[in-house]
Copies of this chain bind each other. A is one copy, B any other.
Amino acid sequence: MNIGAASWQSGLPVKTIRYYEEIGLVRPARSENGYRDFLETDLQRLKFLQRARSLGFSIDKCRELLSLYEDRNRASADVKEITREKIDEIDRKIEELQSLKRVLSDLVRACHGDDRPDCPIIDDLSGAPGAQDCDRAERDKA
Contact = CB atoms under 8 A, between A and B. Distances in A.
Interface of A: 8-9, 11, 44, 47-48, 51-52, 55-56, 65, 68-69, 71-77, 79-81, 83-84, 86-87, 90-91, 93-94, 97-98, 100-101, 103-105, 107-108, 111-119, 121-122, 124-127, 132, 135-136, 139
Contacts of A91: 101
Task: Name the 9 nearest CB pairs between A and B, nearest first.
Answer: A76-B119, A80-B113, A75-B115, A77-B113, A80-B111, A90-B101, A79-B121, A79-B119, A74-B117
B104 A87 contact: yes
B48 A126 contact: yes
Given A83-B107, A83-B111, A94-B101, 8 more contacts: A9-B136, A51-B127, A65-B125, A68-B122, A69-B125, A69-B126, A76-B116, A97-B97
